[in-house]
Structure 1
Amino acid sequence: MGGLLMFTLAIITCLFWLFVLVDATLGMRRLPMLQKVVEDDVLIKKGPLISIIVAAKNEETDIEASLRSQLKQTYKNIEWIVVNDRSTDKTGAIIDNLAKEDDRITPVHIKDLPDAWLGKNHALYTGYRKAKGDYLLFTDGDIYFHKDVIAKSLTFFQNNKIDHLTLTPNMNVTSFWTKAFVTFFLFGFSYFKRPWKANDDKSKVAIGIGAFNLLSREAYEAIGTHRKIAMRPDDDLMLGVTIKQNGRKQRVANAIPYLEVAWYRSLKEAIIGLEKNTFAGLFYSYFMVLFSISGIFISQIWPFVALFVTEGATRFLYGVVILLLFFVYQQTANVMAKGALKYFVVFPISSLIFMYCIARATILTTIRGGIVWRGTFYPLHQLKKDLHK
């Protein structure tokens, strides 16, 4: 009986990853590449004002280099609203100094956080209220821009007559285990979120990536601005979701050569950083947590274990599963991150680490009664209330 159960599970797992492989292979091929966009010269010279709104809290390590990369854009009709969100380091001073060098920068300093707001969401909303542009680009204080990224993005935006464009950046991570974890995260994000479906106007799938969320002002105001998602720690994703829910057109494009983020510098930072949105991404549901952890174990860890504890046809099928996992990884993580494929050698360990992240975030959020994000505590009852807006 046990052997039959294992054999049946192996068949189901094999079929699941075969479906994912076909879906991901076809889907990733349909994902637009920003590098293939030819800039509209007329648009570059006479295009509309774009307001780049940067939220920064304790970003003294990256904020200056990030902003200097943005200031080099070939597209010139840009203003920067750089919001210093209650920083306790030199972030505010760095922003002020850059504003003295370039009058396109408007510094905004937030001293206090109003009730019923997450810090970053409030910072971006505050920046919007200062912005004059017909287009709004929301980004973080540690993103590095290639000089053509705005020109290509606006050309793509107008050519496709859309309301929202989000770009996938290159994750600039150096340490082995951090890179392994990041590439596994991209693998999971790809097969679970299926970003290519966000480009299907008939699909409910939606994507928003914090490194680059470009919207028309009209669309942003129509969906309720960041007020609509004031208490969502996964604000970038929810911005995209809200766009789709309101019947607006959204596109996601691969921009690895044009956009870079120093996401997390260590594995510890990555695990701590995911505290805020891992449980939120599962709708603060303990059932979803259990389902996710069980699903990861059965589909991504057990096949490797099964090679040593099963035999015959069952062992062969699990060998096929591992091969399918490799090809899915190749079609997802390896497309979204440079040199990701070599980290497949520690795939089972990366899976365990991610399971630990989910469990850790859930337990800590439950014990604390909320999340701690960049030094501010947000109660769970308030976070859950925002789910139903």
Structure 2
Amino acid sequence: MIWILSIMMIIGIIIFLDTWRGIQTVLPLSAVEPLANDEKVSVIIAARNEEKSVEMTMLSLLNQTHSELELIVVNDRSTDATGLIINKLARRHERMVPIHIETLPSGWLGKNHALYKGYQVASGSFLLFADADIHFEKDTISKALTYMKAQTVDHVTIAPDLQAKGFWLQAFISYFLYGFSVFKRPWTANHDHSRKGGMGIGAFNLIKRDVYEQIGTHEGIKNRPDDDLKLGQVIKQNGYKQRFLSGVNQLWVEWYPSLKEAIKGLEKNTFAGFNYSLAVTVFAITTILISHFLPIFTLFSTDYAVQLLSAIFLIIFLALYGVTIVKMSSYSLWKLVVYPITTTIFLYSTIRAVALTYIKGGIEWRGTFYSLKELRGKQHQ
């Protein structure tokens, strides 16, 4: 047991140091001083059954201080009032371009197809792909464009503040952010010397138009439910420069209204996050079980050395968890104390998502079913 805990402690220290160094490169967008810029930005939003949030999002975009902006909102086969809301605002704002999609071509996921159709009518030299439920502070685009040009990069992606009501939903989101940070290492987007890694966040993907076209547009990732992440990775793999920033105090979203909805919502892209590999999924689950629970039990060992190693590992783990919460959210550190419970919930949601994907033979996303065979089809290289 001492050898196992010693190895775990060494690995824990390596991961902590990697995370600490990486997360220092994740700058807050709020720290950027915006400058006037005449570059045209085409904001492209895909909306399907978003009647509760799409108007708020559109108004926050139309209120941006960056004047050279067009807003393209794509109504993707909505069955609620989304289309009516889009048309109403488009009649009042000439900078809005409404698009209504009635059918989905074979081989495409709905959101990816909608974003691609928006790009086809966009006239800006910069494209901003965003979600239909994000609230933007009025200088968000101006700050992002200022930073992008100052850093001479091709792509800027920003993590929004994930707002939530209730202790347990906040605790679950905190754990998700920790797991996402450690597993995906989003700060690799800020490493110009490597083509590995990369990051893209659906809330805010700002990219030069010519770069987007050169990497194959959304047509190259048309069957990926994690299209935002994959877009960032493809940009990185093709040698273009990108930056990942924190959007706390600049853009926010109510990720899910409840813990139940969060677990259900993760059905669509959990398995995609493991590249649809059962082996990778099992490895990840096993690693979490050992690293998160074993030290708790061995902390009560009668062997002093085992107790000491367990305590050191738990301190390293909690420090790692705390660093990600502070940097990536506005939540308090009190969410740390219930990590065994949130870990259990996360493992349940992961196993549930993968099992349902196999049982159903695919995923259902916003009213459309996509087969596992289709999702595992040829990906953009």
Per the normalisation by structure 2, the TM-score is 0.97
Unaligned runs of 5+ in 2: none
> Which residue, out of 159, 162, 177, partners 2:168?
177
Q: For residues 213 and 330 of structure 2, what CA distance do their matches in structure 1 show?
A: 36
**Structure 1 residue 67 and structure 2 residue 62: aligned?**
no
Q: How many residues align?
A: 380
> Which residue, out of 14, 31, 43, partners 1:36?
31
Q: For residues 304 and 264 of structure 1, what CA distance do their matches in structure 2 show?
A: 30
Q: For residues 124 and 28 of structure 2, what CA distance do their matches in structure 1 show?
A: 26
Map residues 179-198 of structure 1 onto 2, 5 A cutoff.
Answer: 179-198=170-189
Would the aligned equivalents of 2:190 and 2:244 in 1 still touch at CA under 8 Å? yes
Would the aligned equivalents of 2:220 and 2:379 in 1 still touch at CA under 8 Å? no
AA partner of residue 190 (structure 2):
N
SS in 1 for 2:108: coil
SS in 1 for 2:276: coil
Would the aligned equivalents of 1:135 and 1:217 in 2 still touch at CA under 8 Å? yes
SS in 2 for 1:332: helix
Matched residue, 1:27: 22
Task: Tell me how far 1:240 sits from its aligned partner.
Answer: 0.3
Show structure 1 runs of 4+ deviating over 3 A.
Answer: 308-311, 386-389
SS in 1 for 2:243: strand
Matched residue, 2:115: 124
**Structure 1 residue 339 and structure 2 residue 335: aligned?**
no
**Structure 1 residue 206 and structure 2 residue 208: aligned?**
no
**Structure 1 residue 16 and structure 2 residue 16: aligned?**
no
Task: Tell me how far 1:310 sits from its aligned partner.
Answer: 5.9
Q: For residues 274 and 146 of structure 1, what CA distance do their matches in structure 2 show?
A: 27
**Structure 1 residue 164 and structure 2 residue 155: aligned?**
yes
> Which residue, out of 122, 125, 130, partners 1:134?
125
Would the aligned equivalents of 1:304 and 1:348 in 2 still touch at CA under 8 Å? no
> Which residue, out of 356, 359, 362, partners 2:354?
362
Matched residue, 1:76: 67
1:124-145 per-position Cα deviation (integer Å, ceiling 9, x unaligned): 0011111111110000100000
SS in 1 for 2:200: coil
Q: Greater helix percent: which structure?
A: 1
Map residues 146-295 of structure 1 onto 2, 5 A cutoff.
Answer: 146-203=137-194, 204-295=196-287
SS in 1 for 2:157: strand
Would the aligned equivalents of 1:175 and 1:265 in 2 still touch at CA under 8 Å? no
Would the aligned equivalents of 1:136 and 1:217 in 2 still touch at CA under 8 Å? yes
Q: 1:251 to 1:19 in 2, by over 3 A?
A: same
Would the aligned equivalents of 2:174 and 2:331 in 1 still touch at CA under 8 Å? no
Matched residue, 1:3: none
Matched residue, 2:364: 372
Q: 1:147 to 1:388 in 2, by over 3 A?
A: closer
Per the normalisation by structure 1, the TM-score is 0.95
Q: For residues 15 and 380 of structure 1, what CA distance do their matches in structure 2 show?
A: 38
Task: Tell me how far 1:247 sits from its aligned partner.
Answer: 1.1
Task: Tell me how far 1:334 sits from its aligned partner.
Answer: 2.1
> Which residue, out of 295, 308, 324, partners 1:316?
308
Map residues 80-95 of structure 1 onto 2, 5 A cutoff.
Answer: 80-95=71-86
Q: 1:299 to 1:354 in 2, by over 3 A?
A: same
Q: For residues 351 and 310 of structure 1, what CA distance do their matches in structure 2 show?
A: 26
SS in 2 for 1:106: strand
Please identify, of 202-211 and 312-321, the stretch whose mean Cα deviation from structure 2 is larger.
Answer: 312-321
1:163-218 per-position Cα deviation (integer Å, ceiling 9, x unaligned): 11000110011121111111101101111222222111122110000000000110
Would the aligned equivalents of 1:283 and 1:387 in 2 still touch at CA under 8 Å? no
RMSD: 1.3
Unaligned runs of 5+ in 1: 1-5
1:30-82 per-position Cα deviation (integer Å, ceiling 9, x unaligned): 222212222223x2xxx111100001111111111111111111111100000
AA partner of residue 235 (structure 1):
D
SS in 1 for 2:379: helix
The percentage of counterpart residues that share the same residue type is 47
Task: Tell me how far 1:338 sits from its aligned partner.
Answer: 0.6
AA partner of residue 24 (structure 2):
R
Q: For residues 361 and 276 of structure 1, what CA distance do their matches in structure 2 show?
A: 7
SS in 2 for 1:10: helix
